[in-house]
Structure 1
Amino acid sequence: MDKDFTFEEIFKQNENRIHYHIHKLQIRDPHNEFYVEGLYAMWLAYKRYQPDKGPLATYFNFMIRNRMIDLIRNKTKEQRDMDAYQQMESIEKQDGNHSSTSSVPLITPEDIEIVDEAIWNEIKEQLSPNQWKWVDYYIIQGLSQREIAEIEGVSIEAVKSWAREAKKKLRASNILDHGN
């Protein structure tokens, strides 16, 4: 390439290539992110161009198109990650210890008074070790099912299973009727 031309001159002659690829890839670019990416790709191509490898115009097209496709892939992955995160947040809010309109737990650790250790020991005897972990973490400490799963190194489904079985056993026993 004749280095007598500055990037600004080359850019003015080739700016429409950026618009062409945005249109060809059917990209909506309200914030000019793809335009800027195309401009950066053009600058990289200008800096790296080797005349013996082929025409500059071909290299511009290759760089601009591929940089835009990479940006599309990154944005798609970011959107998928955000959707998955929002879905998990939604599930966690509806995991049984939260109301549907608030992320505040219905029962907080401050609301539980451990007046009689004997009752807690009796409850513990009725439950398997994992079911007791759920009672301790979830009811007493106020952790979410996701936090329990992370601490114990198990799936959220496993923690939910512990909860179901613990609730079933507690309902079936008369331990909770001691206070009445």
Structure 2
Amino acid sequence: METFEEVVDQYKPYIYYFIRRYGIRDLEGEFFQLGMIGLWQAWENWDEDRASFSSYAYLCVRREMLRLLDSNSRRIAQQQAFLETVKREDFVRNDDYAVENEWLHTIRKMLTEKQWIWVNEFLIGGYSAREIAEKYGVSENAVKCWGRDARKKLKKNWNITEELNHR
């Protein structure tokens, strides 16, 4: 049997044929690479009792290219379906983010560094007191104290402890 390099030299036109046949613009070489994979699989798995090598190579190269085309078309269809369900208003929510950012900035100003760590890590980040303690090299009770002090300070300045106490 021939070496794979000899097979590539002889059957590389199959790959180019399918790229042209299906109108593929293969700027990144992805389809050519898949064609080479198909050719390799044909070379590795060919059984001379079942079919000629050229027929088998043709099928293997074609199969790999069609798999990628099918995958790409499904992905494009999913993206298209998503874009059809999304409204312009879904993307124009910058004001909410600006208000939230301003609110957090105001909270940040009134808290100490450690209290802010608790707000940022526990309330916003969703980390447990134990995880925060490990991250900052302090005891879990220290983190709980930061939270207690932050809640007191926020209660004093705003009446938002209902939400904080339920966390």
Question: 1:105 corresponds to which letter in structure 2?
Answer: D
TM-score normalised by the chain length of structure 2: 0.53
For residues 106 and 8 of structure 1, do their structure 2 counterparts lie closer, same or farther at Cα, with a shift above 3 Å needed?
closer
For residues 106 and 57 of structure 1, do their structure 2 counterparts lie closer, same or farther at Cα, with a shift above 3 Å needed?
closer
Q: Unaligned stretches of 5+ in structure 1? A: 112-180
TM-score normalised by the chain length of structure 1: 0.49
* Distance (whole Å) between structure 2 residues aligned to residue 110 and residue 6 of structure 1: 64
Q: Name the counterpart of 1:105.
A: 96
* Distance (whole Å) between structure 2 residues aligned to residue 86 and residue 13 of structure 1: 45
Deviation at 1:108, TM superposition (A): 5.8
Question: 1:72 corresponds to which letter in structure 2?
Answer: L
Deviation at 1:107, TM superposition (A): 9.7
2:15 is equivalent to residue 18 of structure 1: yes
* Distance (whole Å) between structure 2 residues aligned to residue 59 and residue 27 of structure 1: 22
* Distance (whole Å) between structure 1 residues aligned to residue 23 and residue 30 of structure 2: 14
Q: Unaligned stretches of 5+ in structure 2? A: 103-167
* Distance (whole Å) between structure 2 residues aligned to residue 110 and residue 17 of structure 1: 58
* Distance (whole Å) between structure 2 residues aligned to residue 103 and residue 19 of structure 1: 48
Q: Name the counterpart of 1:78.
A: 75
1:52-80 CA distances to partner (integer Å, 9 max, x unpaired)?
01100000111111211111010011112
* Distance (whole Å) between structure 2 residues aligned to residue 107 and residue 13 of structure 1: 62
Deviation at 1:34, TM superposition (A): 0.7
For residues 44 and 108 of structure 1, do their structure 2 counterparts lie closer, same or farther at Cα, with a shift above 3 Å needed?
same
Query: Displaced runs of 4+ in structure 1, greater than 2 A?
Result: 82-88, 102-111
Q: Name the counterpart of 1:164.
A: none
Deviation at 1:83, TM superposition (A): 2.5
Structure 2 residue aligned with 1:58, among 55, 63, 66?
55
RMSD of aligned residue pairs (Cα, Å): 2.7
Structure 2 residue aligned with 1:69, among 62, 66, 78?
66
How many matched pairs? 103
> Sequence identity of aligned pairs in percent?
23
* Distance (whole Å) between structure 1 residues aligned to residue 101 and residue 8 of structure 2: 65
Deviation at 1:110, TM superposition (A): 9.1
Question: 2:96 corresponds to which letter in structure 1?
Answer: P
For residues 79 and 108 of structure 1, do their structure 2 counterparts lie closer, same or farther at Cα, with a shift above 3 Å needed?
same
Q: Which has the higher helix share?
A: 2
2:89 is equivalent to residue 94 of structure 1: yes
